[in-house]
């Protein structure tokens, strides 16, 4: 979600031009009735009346703002292109992109910047963190900015994402940059070699069975892992939700994380990773290191596939 934290207003402050002073038209001279007895004197030349130059409006100063985001790879390149095209499209506002290691680091630095009263104008943070900042009342509503933009079309945004960023006061405090979902990526050549059809992967148990076939051991060492789930609590939550689990009861009064479906699903992954060792998870490191290590294992043939983001497609 993109959130606005700093006010970046442009005002046209050019002075109004001073009007040129009006000059009266000369009165018509009556023709003489008698010939003059003396030679007429040379009429004086008209005096030039200087007209003051119209004042030139002072050029509006370009507003400089920062946009913090924790993206790398293809998504990072897309954001850099967005910034470049925006800067080239006008001269009123110049955006400087500040790349952070990841989402969590962005949020940590953002909270520190807010406390120091030096936040960036815009930041990209995970959707669930937007409500924390709304509660802290540190975000600027976007409604007036959107109303002033004739090309903005709310129909271009997935309704659920758009409504997610509205608060109790009915105002909008963020806009989605993108949305992702979990996707299974696999090596076609390994699947073909082992006779595994993607159509067989309908449940997590099906995936585990495929991982057992894919795992390869040489000299007592695993040289090819059956599968690599992506590190992070959100992936484990998605696994439960995909099996029909819920976070809360329908009336919203009970947290259901201890329900049997949660326990069973997470216990299965624990066994597959730590006991059977048909799966492996990369974790830790700086920024997105664990993510790139996971993808690299599949690309280099050290794993048959992984569970990642739809944004990994590039």
Q: What is the pLDDT of residues 94-134, one digit of tens each?
A: 999 999 999 989 999 999 999 999 999 999 998 888 889 99
CATH for 77: 3.40.190.10
Q: What is the pLDDT of residues 9-38, one digit of tens each?
A: 332 333 333 333 333 434 444 434 444 444
Q: What is the pLDDT of residues 74-98, one digit of tens each?
A: 888 999 999 999 999 999 999 999 9
Q: Pseudo-torsion of CA 279, 282, 283, 285, nearest 10°? A: 170
41 domain-assigned: no
52 domain-assigned: no
pLDDT at 289 over 60: yes
Pairing of strands 305-309, 228-229: parallel
CB 67 within 8 Å of CB 95: yes
How is residue 177 written in tokens? 């940059």
- 188 and 117 both lie in a single domain: no
- 169 and 190 both lie in a single domain: no
Name which of 203, 215, 204 is nearest 267 in CA terms: 204
Strand partners, 3: 123, 174
Tally of structural domains, the chain: 2
Give the model's confidence band at 49: pLDDT under 50 very low, under 70 low, under 90 confident, else very high: low
Kindly report whether the global pTM for this prediction surpasses the value 0.85.
no
Q: Residue 193: count other Cβ atoms within 10 Å of its Cβ.
A: 12
Structure confidence at residue 237 (pLDDT):
92
Residue 26 CB-density burial (10 A; 0-12 exposed, 13-18 middle, 19+ buried) = exposed
Among 175, 203, 228, where does a domain finish? 175
- 78 and 149 both lie in a single domain: yes
Q: Residue 297: count other Cβ atoms within 10 Å of its Cβ.
A: 19
- 261 and 288 both lie in a single domain: yes
CB 80 within 8 Å of CB 103: no
Q: Which residue has the tokens 């807010």?
A: 114
115-to-83, 102, 129, 258 alpha-carbon distances in Å: 27, 20, 17, 36
- 188 and 167 both lie in a single domain: no
Rounded to the nearest 5°, which phi and psi values hold at 262?
-70, -50
> Residues 6 or more apart from 239 whose CB is under 8 A from it?
204, 265, 266, 269
25 domain-assigned: no
78 domain-assigned: yes
Structure confidence at residue 182 (pLDDT):
87
- 170 and 192 both lie in a single domain: no
Q: Determine which of 50-59, 66-75, 294-303 has the lowest per-residue pLDDT on average.
A: 50-59
Q: What is the pLDDT of residues 183-227, one digit of tens each?
A: 999 999 999 999 999 999 999 999 999 999 999 999 999 999 999
pLDDT at 297 over 80: yes
The H or E element spanning position 218 is: strand 216-218
94 domain-assigned: yes
- 290 and 228 both lie in a single domain: yes
30 domain-assigned: no
Name which of 115, 312, 149, 146 is nearest 230 in CA terms: 312
272 domain-assigned: yes
- 147 and 234 both lie in a single domain: no
- 232 and 193 both lie in a single domain: yes
Give the domain range for residue 254: 182-313
171 domain-assigned: yes
Half-sphere exposure of 140 (CA within 13 A, CB side): 16
128-to-107, 171, 232, 306 alpha-carbon distances in Å: 12, 17, 15, 25
């Amino acid at each position: 979600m993109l959130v606005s934290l700093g006010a970046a207003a442009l005002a046209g402050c050019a002075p109004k031009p001073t009007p040129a002073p009006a000059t009266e038209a000369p009165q018509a001279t009556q023709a003489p009735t008698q010939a003059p007895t003396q030679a007429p004197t040379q009429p004086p030349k008209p005096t030039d009346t200087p007209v003051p130059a119209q004042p030139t409006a002072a050029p509006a100063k370009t507003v400089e703002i920062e946009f913090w985001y924790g993206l790398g790879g293809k998504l990072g390149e897309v954001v850099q292109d967005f910034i470049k095209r925006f800067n080239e499209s006008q001269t009123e506002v110049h955006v400087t992109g500040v790349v952070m290691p990841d989402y969590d680091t962005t949020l940590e630095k953002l909270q520190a910047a807010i406390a120091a009263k030096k936040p960036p104008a815009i930041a990209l943070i995970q959707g669930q963190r937007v409500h924390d900042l709304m509660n802290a009342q540190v975000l600027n509503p976007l409604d007036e900015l959107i109303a002033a933009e004739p090309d903005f079309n709310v129909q271009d945004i997935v309704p659920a994402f758009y409504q997610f960023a509205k608060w109790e006061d009915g105002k909008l405090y963020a806009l989605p940059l993108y949305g992702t979902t979990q996707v299974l990526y696999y090596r076609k050549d390994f699947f073909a070699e082992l006779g595994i059809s993607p159509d067989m992967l309908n449940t997590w148990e099906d995936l585990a069975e495929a991982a057992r076939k894919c795992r390869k051991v040489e000299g007592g060492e695993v040289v090819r892992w059956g599968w690599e789930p992506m590190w992070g609590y959100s992936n484990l939550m998605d696994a439960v939700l995909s099996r029909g689990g819920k976070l809360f009861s329908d009336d919203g009064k009970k947290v259901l994380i201890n329900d049997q479906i949660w326990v069973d699903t997470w216990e299965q992954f624990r066994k597959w990773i730590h006991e059977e060792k048909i799966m492996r998870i990369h974790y830790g490191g700086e920024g997105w290191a664990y993510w790139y290590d996971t993808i690299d294992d599949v690309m280099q043939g050290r794993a048959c596939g992984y569970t990642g983001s739809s944004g990994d497609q590039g």
